[in-house]
Copies of this chain bind each other. A is one copy, B any other.
């Protein structure tokens, strides 16, 4: 059994990006600039956005945090988005989800310039991804693909079973893994809440990607020997003995499933850190694409 060490690989990727940024600076070029828009004071969102901004600083990106109050109107947010679209200094930006309930997320999402949509959530990017065109791939599935590539996990012709059909993980990873290319060319089954007898399906899987958010869901009797397990679940379980008041757990019964697996991602330290690394990678790509257009 080998651990797919997302923490290690994400650090490698960040170092590679840092080298590129240093070279940009040496050449006197503009460095990538990521902006993050946060509306309100959701605890998890504050943590995520803070972590993204710190990562930018570490690798030499410019970053801007736009923190708006909880009662920001939809119009005001759309105006902010329009300003970010128009600002040539910003290469890419994210609008941290979830947004307060009085704001229509779809409307905001559609207002983001696809050329700056480093989250890859705009339908134009999603469609380009599905149609094998150049796009921004959503950071979590992009991170899973990169992890599989860096560990040279053989996926071609393998049976990959994805659990969960969310827009940000299950759906895109099911598309990416069934396309042509490295870490892809798999036969992919997408399962979800209506799937009957899931166990009979996961037992056939050479690769399982669990993106459900239910702790301890995937158990050892649901997988076959030698399976590759990607655990995308990140659930905060309240725990007063911890300093933060909670601990993080994935979808997988790691202790027992890992005994049967050939490769497995831990939680934390698996897919999570890869997500931030790939957001930075997308921002670097955005800078490079804008530069090509400017030239």
Question: Judging by beta carbons under 8 Å apart, are A187 and B179 in contact?
Answer: no
Q: In the complex, what distance in Å separates the CA atom of A49 from the CA atom of B106?
A: 36
* Segment with Cβ contacts to B, from A7-15, A23-31, A123-131: A123-131
Complex interface bits, A125-148 against B, C-beta within 8 A gives 1, otherwise 0: 111111111010000000000000
Q: In the complex, what distance in Å separates the CA atom of A190 from the CA atom of B171?
A: 13
Centre residue among A106, A127, A130, A135 by max chain B CB count within 10 A: A127
A188 / chain B contacts, CB cutoff of 8 Å:
189-190
A187 / chain B contacts, CB cutoff of 8 Å:
189-192, 194-196, 201
Indicate if A199 sits at the interface (CB-CB under 8 A): no
- Tallying the copies of this chain within the complex gives 2
Q: In the complex, what distance in Å separates the CA atom of A6 from the CA atom of B125?
A: 34
Question: Judging by beta carbons under 8 Å apart, are A157 and B124 in contact?
Answer: no
Q: A157-B195, A157-B196, A187-B195 are in contact. Are A106 and B133 (CB under 8 A)?
A: yes
Complex interface bits, A241-284 against B, C-beta within 8 A gives 1, otherwise 0: 00000000000000000000000000000000000000000000
Q: A190-B188, A194-B157 are in contact. Are A171 and B130 (CB under 8 A)?
A: yes
Complex interface bits, A90-132 against B, C-beta within 8 A gives 1, otherwise 0: 0000000000000000100000000000000011111111111
A126 / chain B contacts, CB cutoff of 8 Å:
123, 126-127, 130-131
Indicate if A67 sits at the interface (CB-CB under 8 A): no
Q: Say what secondary structure dominates the interface of chain A.
A: mixed
A123 / chain B contacts, CB cutoff of 8 Å:
123-128, 130-131, 133, 135
Q: In the complex, what distance in Å separates the CA atom of A126 from the CA atom of B128?
A: 8
Q: In the complex, what distance in Å separates the CA atom of A132 from the CA atom of B106?
A: 11
Residue of B nearest to A161 (CB): B189
Q: In the complex, what distance in Å separates the CA atom of A39 from the CA atom of B196?
A: 48
Task: Output the least CB separation between A250 and chain B (Å).
Answer: 22
Q: A189-B189, A195-B187, A201-B187 are in contact. Are A178 and B157 (CB under 8 A)?
A: no
A192 / chain B contacts, CB cutoff of 8 Å:
178, 185, 187
A132 / chain B contacts, CB cutoff of 8 Å:
167
Question: Known pairs A123-B135, A124-B127, A175-B175. 19 more at Cβ < 8 A?
Answer: A106-B133, A122-B127, A123-B123, A123-B124, A123-B125, A123-B126, A127-B130, A130-B167, A130-B175, A132-B167, A171-B175, A174-B178, A174-B190, A178-B192, A185-B194, A187-B190, A187-B191, A187-B194, A187-B196
